[in-house]
């Protein structure tokens, strides 16, 4: 899951000089993940991983880093 998510984020949403050096705990919002990117990310996650992420949980705490996003997905997997 981590590799698929990371690939999407760095190919489609966030431009960093070297994604391999970007830690899974680094701040994606600070790196440039914006509101449109967040919506694209949520749709990608729901379609790719078969989960439904509640709209009221789309907040910085759940989207700050790759590790937080993965934790958020795991909480909603059946």
Q: Sorting pLDDT into bands at 50, 70 and 90, what band is 40? A: very high
The pLDDT of residue 61 is 94
The pLDDT of residue 31 is 96
The pLDDT of residue 23 is 95
H/E stretch holding 54 reads: none
**pLDDT above 90: residue 9:** yes
* CA 27 to each of CA 10, 47, 64: distance values in angstroms, whole numbers, following the listed order: 13, 24, 5
**Average pLDDT in the chain:** 95
CB of 44 within 8 A of CB of 8? yes
What is the Cα–Cα distance from 12 to 29, expressed in whole angstroms? Answer: 14
Q: Sorting pLDDT into bands at 50, 70 and 90, what band is 36? A: very high
Give domain limits for the chain.
27-78
The residue-averaged pLDDT of 13-30 equals 94
């Amino acid at each position: 899951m981590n590799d698929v998510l990371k690939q999407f984020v760095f190919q489609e949403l966030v431009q960093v000089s070297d994604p391999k050096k970007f830690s899974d705990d680094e701040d994606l919002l600070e790196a440039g993940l914006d509101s449109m990117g967040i919506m694209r990310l949520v749709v990608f996650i729901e379609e790719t991983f078969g989960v439904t992420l509640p709209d009221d949980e789309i907040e910085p705490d759940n989207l700050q880093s790759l590790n937080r996003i993965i934790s958020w997905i795991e909480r909603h997997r059946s």
